[in-house]
Amino acid sequence: MVSSQLANRESMIFTLLAGNLAHGLLLGGVYGMATMGLSLIFGVINVVNVGHGQFIMVGAFITLTMFTALGLSPVVSIPVALILGMALGFFFFYTVMRRLIRAPELTTLLATFAIGILLEEIAKLIFGADFRGYNWGVGKITLPITTIPMSKVYAFIGSIVIALFLYFWLSKTRLGTTIRAVIEDNEGAKVCGVNVGWIYALSFAIGIGLTVMSGVLLTMFIPVGINPYMGGVYTLKAFVIAVLGGLTSPYGAFFAGLIFGLIENGAYTLFALIPGVAPFPLTISLAFWMLFFLLLVKPTGILGK
């Protein structure tokens, strides 16, 4: 009797874990896509974008506004977010970042942080500080272990498509290979006649565009809790993922995102079984200890040599 109850409890935990891991894999894909912009920008202009999450917040508000005010599906918001994000990227590059290319970390970190604050405050001015959300009813699929809303599946598919597109663009086109050349060695690229200044601007704009676009996918995944200050936690998660992926590699970032999503949801399920602790903050804490450990043992990331 007792043993069958125990076996029952074990199988329940197993089902719960498997279900949460399935959600984690989908979320991880979106996380990975949301970090590619950070890695691209760090790789090309060697700037850690501390205002990363705030650009995700911009994407979230684009989705929300298009959905509630114009009644457009979040899928339409994806290209809009890319274009608006790239415009923002070019704007901030030519007004601020261009002058800070060779500057010490002190100024670049502070500048990107200030840009983040500026975006937060402008969003607060326009939308107010309330938490908002929307309901995109596109049905759900039921698996034996769990039920997954279709919106999450679409967000995952969208992330993979964008990641693949970026992969082919970076590896097969001339412009993409030029960007990779600048990541490898900007002096060498300059000697070979690459207009490095333009590549910096373009990569920064694409990085920001990707980030704003990932805000759309993230709100497809989690359509609640949209507010001007939602970005901070994504900046921090993106740091962990970017370091896991090697910090300069957009592909590494994508795979690291998948792993991170699995670890996050798996750890949450297990922490929830321990009595007397708060599983949610403990999971976030685990992520940062992981970051710390990784920086120590393998700062080149999981795909690094």
Binding site for other proteins (CB under 8 A): 42, 46-48, 50, 95-96, 99-100, 103-107, 109-111, 113-115, 117-118, 120-122, 125, 232, 236, 239-240, 243, 247, 271, 276-285, 287-289, 291-292, 295-296, 299
Residue 122, C-beta contacts closer than 8 angstroms, at least 6 positions apart: none
Q: How many CB atoms lie within 10 A of CB 155?
A: 26
In whole angstroms, the minimum distance from the beta carbon of 124 to other proteins comes to 8
Residue 197 CB, nearest distance to other proteins (Å)? 17
- Crossing angle between the packed helical segments 196-221 and 52-70, to the nearest 10 degrees: 60
Give Dmax (Cα) for the chain: 77
Residue 26 vs 263, nearer CB to other proteins: 263
Least Å from the CB of residue 237 to other proteins? 10
Tell me whether residue 110 or residue 157 sits nearer to other proteins (CB atom).
Answer: 110
φ and ψ of 132, to 5 deg:
-125, 170
Other C-beta atoms within 10 Å of 217: how many?
29
Residues 213, 165: contact at Cβ < 8 Å?
Answer: no
Q: Are the CB atoms for 273 and 267 separated by under 8 Å? A: no
Q: Which of 232, 188, 224, 166 is nearest to 33 (CA)?
A: 166
CB closer to other proteins, 37 vs 158: 37
Q: Which is nearer to other proteins, 193 or 276 (CB)?
A: 276
* 189 or 244: CB nearest other proteins: 244
Supply the minimum distance, in Å, between the C-beta of residue 289 and other proteins: 5
Q: Minimum Å distance from CB 49 to other proteins?
A: 10
